[in-house]
Amino acid sequence: MIVLEGRNLTKHFTAARGPRGRLGRRPPVRAVEDVSIALRAGTVSALVGESGCGKSTVARLLAQVYPATSGEVLLRGEPVRAHRGAAFRDYRRQVQLIFQDPFASLNPFHRVRYHLARPLRIHGHVRSDADEKAQVAELLERVSLTPVEQFMDKLPHELSGGQRQRVAIARALAVRPVALIADEPVSMLDVSIRLGVLRLLEGLAQESGLALLYITHDIASARYFAQDITVMYAGRLIESGPSEALTQSARHPYTQLLLESAPDPDRVTPPEATRHGEPPSLIEPPSGCRFHPRCPVALPVCSERAPDRTELGEGRWTHCWQAESALTP
Amino acid sequence: MNVLEIRDLSVDYLSGGGAVHAVADVSLDLRRGEILGLAGESGSGKSTLANAVARLLRPPAAITSGSVVYRRQDGSSEDVLALGRKELRAFRWKELAVVFQSAMNALNPVSTVGAQIDDVLRIHRPGMSRNDRAERAAELLQRVGISADRRRAYPHELSGGMRQRAAIAIALALNPEVIIMDEPTTALDVVVQRDILHEIRALREEYGFAVVFITHDLSLLMEISDRIAIMYAGRVVETGGARAIHTSPRHPYTLGLLRSFPRLHGPREQLLGIPGTPPDLRSLPPGCAFHPRCGKAMAECSSELPALDGDVACLLNGGRGLEDAS
């Protein structure tokens, strides 16, 4: 069942400062262009891309942090536009966000208990102090911060990065959401504790039927923790499919480049040394397919028109002019 | 032949609540022309170690014991920790250069990248003419993959990858014997990271410098390094060839790290990870600092501190660590 969906989301940011272009206008940053994504109950979906590709913007559009330039967000099939007031609070009760930096997302002056009790109170889930304490304890238990008595009265600086991120997850769970958007939830954590946090998120999706969007730059972790992966590049969707199929036989040249570049000690021969260039500016993105200036197999048509979605069967699709030709290696 | 010899180096951070032992009794050799990977989690002391070797530590950090010896190709050697101010100036950049994680902060924002290379050359090579310096700057930039006309660009006009390349170009300016790279690609995207790693390897082939490459990303290290040293809670717990560490790790911590990152290919193995969290350096567990998280810990692990005897600091199997294929 699709819980949360974005349809044809586009977001252009206008710079408040900076040089003006023709007619005295400042050119917009085309951060996200025509992105559609669906989150299903009990499923982890991954959105993978390099920094600046717009993946966090998609997260914020889905969470209604700011309105889309065009396109719509649907919660259980109903279009929503809730950016302030009671409507926004109601939306936030159902869709929650977890951020990358657990050092910045917790208030250093407040104890763990306060962080977890606030959403419970604001969203009307508690009636008495005893009830509040019981629910805070239950939340801490769900994220494996035990003994709960000990963690309840700690301040953020007394916790390690992994523990803080668990508090952030518990806080998101406090309102009993149906969808959870995790924006790079482990990239600031140490390697040895990333796994535990990812497992926790995976378990929450499976047990509580949460729809989880896992946003990451690490495609190998997406292979392990997500059922399906969507790859983004320079504000546009590139390719999508079940995670195992996508990582083992990528069809889009960009996905192939991404897989080839990821560190992999099991690789027998290192990939060829060629300079691949860098992601483009989103103020003046390349015409046509935004990957064409870096694409090893670009055709003339690639710089003229953006490719439409080509369905590849078995839940896979890609945006590439050569999706059907002999592209697969 | 060694170019750097670190012996029993200890670094403390002096704080109100007593000293924090950030680096404890570390002994390491850097061979001429090799890439030595230094891996460890945050707080393991890897950056403190590198900064100690480059003499970049400032109070409250203090080197409490040990020595660092730099050996030149002609056989002469230098006690790095005893260098005075003036000698240190000559030593840095000419013999040992450093590339930091965020090139955005390491470069001077109000001066062009060309001028920053020129700076290094002007100070260290007073005999060089202005034209020669300009030529050398252009050549260096080209060598790291930045077109020569970009030497008039300011750091903010360059992308993250380009800035890191520029920082590497500055490090190369005087042909140092040793370059310390502290998380040089951590802030970069994987594709750009891959290109820069290739660049580092190619430059190493060409110039023959040795690299100390510091990162928390063990999978990356195993691809780029010749040898790897693993640090945990301020100590080196294992050293070895990159291949050997990959195929037969001897320390349970190394094995845990290897089983913590997901693989891109092959069967989706069960990821084990490491239970618990890295220790607080202010109150380290007695004995082996890893024993509370170690699945193979024995009674003596909590009382006896294993020495780095050979390649591994572990009491298992009479000090030899894990047996093969365990």
B159 interface with A at CB cutoff 8 Å = yes
Over residues A42-71, mean pLDDT: 91
- Distance (Å) from the alpha carbon of B128 to chain A's nearest alpha carbon: 32
C-alpha span between B237 and B239 (Å, rounded): 7
Categorize the per-residue pLDDT at A325 as very low, low, confident or very high, splitting at 50, 70 and 90. low
pLDDT at residue A100 tops 80:
yes
Q: Which of A203, A169, A33 is nearest to A97 (CA)?
A: A169
pLDDT of residue A329: 44
Categorize the per-residue pLDDT at A271 as very low, low, confident or very high, splitting at 50, 70 and 90. low
Place of tokens 């750091």: B155
Residues of A in contact with B190 (CB under 8 A): 50, 217, 258, 261-263
Question: B281 or B71, which is more confident?
Answer: B71
C-alpha span between A291 and A299 (Å, rounded): 12
pLDDT at residue B102 tops 80:
no
C-alpha span between A312 and A310 (Å, rounded): 6
Residue B121 tokens read as 């050359």
- Is A221–B262 a contact, with Cβ atoms under 8 angstroms apart? yes
C-alpha span between A19 and A26 (Å, rounded): 7
H/E stretch holding A161? helix A161-174
Nearest CA in chain A to B193: A261
Interface of B with A in 181-240 (CB under 8 A): 189-195, 198, 202, 216-220, 222-223
Residue B173 tokens read as 């300016």
Residue B290 tokens read as 């890893």
pLDDT digits (tens, 9 = 90+) for B204-224: 998 899 999 998 888 888 888
Edge-to-edge strands of the sheet including A228-233? Answer: A95-98, A179-183, A211-216, A44-48, A228-233, A236-242, A316-318, A310-313
- Distance (Å) from the alpha carbon of A269 to chain B's nearest alpha carbon: 10
C-alpha span between B284 and B274 (Å, rounded): 18
Nearest CA in chain B to A259: B264
pLDDT digits (tens, 9 = 90+) for A165-205: 999 999 999 999 999 999 999 888 888 888 888 989 999 89
CB-nearest partner of B195 from A221, A225, A276: A276
Residue B154 tokens read as 């300011």
- Is B192–A221 a contact, with Cβ atoms under 8 angstroms apart? no
C-alpha span between A160 and B277 (Å, rounded): 8
C-alpha span between A6 and A61 (Å, rounded): 8
* Type of residue found at A315: G
Interface of B with A in 15-54 (CB under 8 A): 41-42
What is the phi/psi pair of residue B169, to 5°?
A: -60, -40
pLDDT digits (tens, 9 = 90+) for B33-69: 999 999 988 888 888 999 899 888 888 888 999 999 9
- Is A260–B194 a contact, with Cβ atoms under 8 angstroms apart? yes
Interface of A with B in 93-152 (CB under 8 A): none
A276 interface with B at CB cutoff 8 Å = yes
pLDDT at residue A268 tops 70:
no
pLDDT of residue A158: 87
C-alpha span between A307 and A254 (Å, rounded): 14
Least confident of A219-223, B2-6, B19-23, B228-232: B19-23
pLDDT of residue A9: 94
pLDDT at residue A327 tops 50:
no
Place of tokens 């279009």: A79
All residues at 6 or more sequence positions from A134 whose CB lies less than 8 Å from its CB, including other chains: none
- Is A278–B190 a contact, with Cβ atoms under 8 angstroms apart? no
Residues of B in contact with A270 (CB under 8 A): 223
Residues of B in contact with A278 (CB under 8 A): 159, 161-162, 192
pLDDT digits (tens, 9 = 90+) for B266-279: 777 777 778 887 88
pLDDT of residue B326: 45
Question: A114 or A100, which is more confident?
Answer: A114
Contact B205, B29 (CB under 8 A): no
- Is B219–A223 a contact, with Cβ atoms under 8 angstroms apart? no
CB-nearest partner of A265 from B246, B268, B274: B246
C-alpha span between A261 and A257 (Å, rounded): 6
- Is A266–B266 a contact, with Cβ atoms under 8 angstroms apart? yes
- Distance (Å) from the alpha carbon of A117 to chain B's nearest alpha carbon: 26
Residues of A in contact with B264 (CB under 8 A): 219-220, 223, 247, 259, 262, 264
Residues of B in contact with A191 (CB under 8 A): 41, 216-218, 257, 260-261
Least confident of A16-20, A91-95, A249-253, B235-239: A16-20
- Is B217–A263 a contact, with Cβ atoms under 8 angstroms apart? yes
Tell me the helix, strand and coil percentages in chain B, rounded to 5. 35, 25, 40
Contact B251, B307 (CB under 8 A): no
Place of tokens 């989880």: A212
Sign of the torsion formed by the C-alpha atoms of A27, A28, A29 and A33: negative
CB-nearest partner of A263 from B202, B223, B275: B223
B274 interface with A at CB cutoff 8 Å = yes
- Is B159–A278 a contact, with Cβ atoms under 8 angstroms apart? yes
Categorize the per-residue pLDDT at B103 as very low, low, confident or very high, splitting at 50, 70 and 90. low
A160 interface with B at CB cutoff 8 Å = yes
Categorize the per-residue pLDDT at A86 as very low, low, confident or very high, splitting at 50, 70 and 90. confident
CB-nearest partner of B262 from A50, A192, A220: A220
Percentage of residues in chain A having pLDDT higher than 70: 93
Q: Which of B302, B294, B297, B290 is nearest to B316 (CA)?
A: B297
Domains and CATH numbers, chain A: 2-14+28-254 (3.40.50.300)
| SS3 at position A131 | helix
C-alpha span between A298 and A252 (Å, rounded): 11
What is the DSSP secondary structure assignment for residue B92, as one 8-state letter? B
* Type of residue found at A221: S
Q: Which of A207, A226, A208, A185 is nearest to A44 (CA)?
A: A226
A224 interface with B at CB cutoff 8 Å = yes
Place of tokens 């021969």: A269
Nearest CA in chain B to A269: B223
Pairing of β B178-182 and β B210-215: parallel
pLDDT of residue A37: 94
- Is B265–A261 a contact, with Cβ atoms under 8 angstroms apart? no
A50 interface with B at CB cutoff 8 Å = yes
C-alpha span between B181 and B35 (Å, rounded): 10
What number of C-beta contacts closer than 8 Å exist between A and B?
107
Other C-beta atoms lying within 10 Å of the C-beta of residue A42: 16
pLDDT at residue A19 tops 80:
no
pLDDT digits (tens, 9 = 90+) for A123-171: 888 888 999 999 999 999 999 888 888 899 999 988 888 889 999 999 9
> Angle between the A129-142 and A161-174 helix axes, to the nearest 10 degrees?
130
Residues of B in contact with A249 (CB under 8 A): none
Cis, peptide link before residue B292, omega less than 30° from 0: no
Categorize the per-residue pLDDT at A104 as very low, low, confident or very high, splitting at 50, 70 and 90. confident
B256 interface with A at CB cutoff 8 Å = yes
ipTM of the complex as predicted: 0.77
Place of tokens 């080197």: B63
Least confident of A33-37, A316-320, B135-139, B278-282: B278-282
pLDDT at residue A326 tops 60:
no
Interface of A with B in 237-266 (CB under 8 A): 244, 247-248, 257-266
Nearest CA in chain B to A186: B261
Instruction: Give the mean pLDDT of chain B.
Output: 87
Over residues A208-219, mean pLDDT: 92
- Distance (Å) from the alpha carbon of A34 to chain B's nearest alpha carbon: 23
Residue B179 tokens read as 């370059």
C-alpha span between A174 and A309 (Å, rounded): 38
**A-interface mutation test, from B41, B189, B221, B228, most A Cβ less than 10 A away:** B189
A154 interface with B at CB cutoff 8 Å = no
- Is A275–B162 a contact, with Cβ atoms under 8 angstroms apart? no
H/E stretch holding A138? helix A129-142
Edge-to-edge strands of the sheet including A70-75? Answer: A28-40, A2-14, A70-75, A78-80
Residue A185 tokens read as 């939830």
Over residues B133-155, mean pLDDT: 87
C-alpha span between B184 and B106 (Å, rounded): 11
Nearest CA in chain A to B199: A273
